[in-house]
Amino acid sequence: MGATEDLTKDDFLGGKIAIWQPKRGYRAGVDPVILAASVAAKSGQSVLELGCGVGTASLCLAARVPDLQITGVEVQPEYAALAQRNADENALPLTVVRADLRALPTELRQERFDHVIMNPPYFDRTAGTASDDTGKDIAFAGDTPLQAWLDVGARRVGPRGYLTLIQRMERLPEVLDALAGRLGAIIVRPIAGRTHRAPELFLLQARQEGKTPFRMAPTLIMHAGETHQGDQESYTQEVACVLRNGAELPIWS
């Protein structure tokens, strides 16, 4: 990977940023953009993204909030290189560290961040068959348990800092169990494709030293209408503003 013929350059946020990514394998879509929009970061703060892939979430966040200090960790060398290339070509402040999140470099293990964000693999490796494409397999399942992602993420959240993630709804019990006694003020926002459909994903925000009781936010509806209507775009106004204009998407609204 790396040759131009193996890559596509795709616009995000209505053309505010352009992302190189592989033609085959894992390709960033809507989920990292939604994740980035839900992070309540402020200028001057520090951000760590675990499993940054080609950098989509971090760069979408950097495009919305100026003057952030963002570090991305990515285990796959080809994706890490693309993430740094994307940051450099978009002139956005992302420093990419190629490392397994379970074996972070010493300097990262000694640092804590205002925000830790992640889009962990959605599927349990023990419950499925590995993909023939390594990049896709690591992105969708991988060999790092969800518990490890959350353990590392919680450790890197600084005082009064936030952990924000997106994940499949059936894994919510695992996430809550892993964070119990470690982070508080947990807010969960379900994400459903359409009205009257069960949520398939959720956003979660938790805070270091947070004392507010658990809250379930109103469901984010991705598409208008009850059924798919051909090829025309059907995103709700709220989601369209995020995807096309880089708008913020508060996890509690």
Q: Which three-class secondary structure string do you get for 41-81? A: CCCCCEEEEECCCCCHHHHHHHHHCCCCEEEEEECCHHHHH
Q: What are the tens digits of pLDDT across the range 229-241?
A: 655 578 999 999 9
Domain 4-245 bears CATH identifier 3.40.50.150: yes
Whole-number pLDDT of residue 140? 46
pTM, whole model, 2 decimals?
A: 0.88
Q: Which of 10-24, 135-149, 203-217 has the weakest average pLDDT?
A: 135-149
Distant-in-sequence, close-in-space partners of 142: CB < 8 Å, separation ≥ 6: 121, 125
The pLDDT of residue 19: 96
Q: Which of 19-33, 44-58, 100-114, 225-239 has the lowest mean pLDDT?
A: 225-239
Residue 224, number of CB atoms within 10 A of its CB: 15
Give pLDDT, residue 232: 56
Predicted confidence band of residue 40 (pLDDT cuts 50, 70, 90) = very high
Q: How confident is the model at residue 224 (pLDDT cuts 50, 70, 90)?
A: confident
The pLDDT score that the predictor gives to residue 207 is 96
Q: Which residue has the tokens 């490890």?
A: 148
The first and second tokens of residue 89, run together, are: 């070509």
Calculate the average pLDDT of the chain: 90
**DSSP category for residue 172:** H
Asked if the model's pLDDT at residue 16 lies above 50, the reply is yes
pLDDT at 24: 85
C-alpha 78/C-alpha 228 separation (Å) is 36
Higher pLDDT, residue 12 or 25: 12
CA 160 to CA 207: how far, in whole Å? 6
**pLDDT score of 128:** 46
Q: Where are the domains of the chain?
A: 4-245
What percent of the chain has pLDDT above 70?
Answer: 87
- pLDDT at 180 > cutoff 50: yes
- Record the tokens describing residue 240, joined without a space: 């369209």
How much of the chain, in percent, has pLDDT values that exceed 90?
79
Range 115-126 average pLDDT = 82
Query: Does residue 199 surpass a pLDDT of 50?
Result: yes
Give the separation between CA 15 and CA 246, rounded to whole angstroms. 10
pLDDT in tens, 47-105: 999 999 999 999 999 999 999 999 999 999 999 999 999 999 999 999 999 999 999 99
Closest CA to 73 of 46, 100, 45: 100
What pLDDT is stored for residue 78 in this prediction? 94
Quickly state the pLDDT bin for 26 (edges 50, 70, 90): confident
